[in-house]
Amino acid sequence: MKIIRESLTRNDKTLPFDYLHFNNMSVVGPNKWFDAGDARFHPDNIVVASREANFTAIIDKQSGKIVWQIGPDYEPSAGANKLPRKVDQISGQHDAHIIPKGLPGEGNLLVFDNQGAAGYPSAKLNTQPGSRVLEIDPIKKEIVWQYTGVNSGGPSYSFYSSYISSARRLPNGNTLIDEGMTGRFFQITNTGEIVWEYVSPYFNTPKADDPLATSSNTVFRAQPVPYEWVPAGTPRSEKPVKVLDIKQFHVPASK
């Protein structure tokens, strides 16, 4: 935090105006750690994440003090799939939360690690960009599961969102991911197989008087809801969608 204070005193116009940028806040919720006697994980305590300063913390609701945290200092970025391992360099993260009770991985911290530019000083990131979804054991502070583009058979940059985005565990053990920068939602198995994918077709309309304005389909967060939330009698159906082979896919010629 001393580095942050000193940075703010510099006459540097490149520094972010929102020097901490807390992008999410949620209650810890019922969990096995508190049930086992660890008061840091009281269900009423608050999980917060600072996108600009690269740390995630739990705040005691009664005292206002930080009782648990990871970052802003981490192990050097390993870029490896060996698990479990100590939490390595997280940068620009979003949607940090404790996986709710009853879901696979309950009690662990799930976070979308954007690997976007952030930190004081700026975090050293990999040459090829690529985001990660990390599941972290908050007691051992170890990564116990992760997802990158490589897990789906692509390069690291095939999954990347330098800002916004989210990841949520589903009851079947899959994970719903919002690659927010590109408006892409997809569901993966714990081995990285993509079993459902959707790209938002909703683009904003740029202001006509702004020559620098661009059209975008960015989506801040995707939140799964159970079927039971849909009113009874609402038409709905499920059907398999055939995966396109982009090597064989061709746009028909216009007449």
- pLDDT above 60 (res 173): yes
3-state secondary structure of 96: strand
Instruction: Tell me what percent of the chain is helix, strand and coil, each rounded to the nearest 5.
Output: 10, 25, 65
DSSP string, 141-159: TEEEEEE-GGGGTS-GGGS
From CA 12, how far away is CA 27, in angstroms rounded? 36
Q: Which stretches of the chain are DSSP H helices? A: 2-8, 32-35
Q: What's residue 207's pLDDT? A: 82
Q: Are 73 and 88 in contact (CB under 8 A)?
A: no
From CA 58, how far away is CA 48, in angstroms rounded? 6
Q: What's residue 14's pLDDT? A: 56
- pLDDT above 50 (res 187): yes
Q: Which residues face 132 on adjacent strands?
A: 113
Please state the length of the chain. 255
Q: What's residue 230's pLDDT? A: 86
Q: In what order do the strands lie in the sheet with 109-113?
A: 85-86, 142-147, 132-137, 109-113, 94-98
Give the mean pLDDT of 53-65: 98
Q: What's residue 4's pLDDT? A: 45
pLDDT 10s digits, 17-35 = 688 999 999 999 999 999 9
Q: What's residue 255's pLDDT? A: 65
From CA 222, how far away is CA 165, in angstroms rounded? 8
From CA 57, how far away is CA 77, in angstroms rounded? 20
Closest of 28, 32, 52, 53 to residue 42, by C-alpha: 28
Torsion sign (Cα): 222, 224, 227, 231: negative
> 0.85 cut: is pTM over it?
yes
Would you place residue 2 in the very low, low, confident or very high pLDDT band (cuts 50, 70, 90)? very low
pLDDT 10s digits, 90-109 = 999 999 999 999 999 999 99
**Phi and psi (nearest 5°) for 111?**
-145, 140
pLDDT 10s digits, 120-164 = 999 999 889 999 999 999 999 999 999 999 999 999 999 999 999
Closest of 170, 111, 140 to residue 33, by C-alpha: 140
Cα Rg, the chain, nearest whole Å: 20
Please give the mean pLDDT across all residues of the chain.
90
Count the Cβ atoms, other than its own, within 10 Å of residue 98.
Answer: 24
Would you place residue 206 in the very low, low, confident or very high pLDDT band (cuts 50, 70, 90)? confident
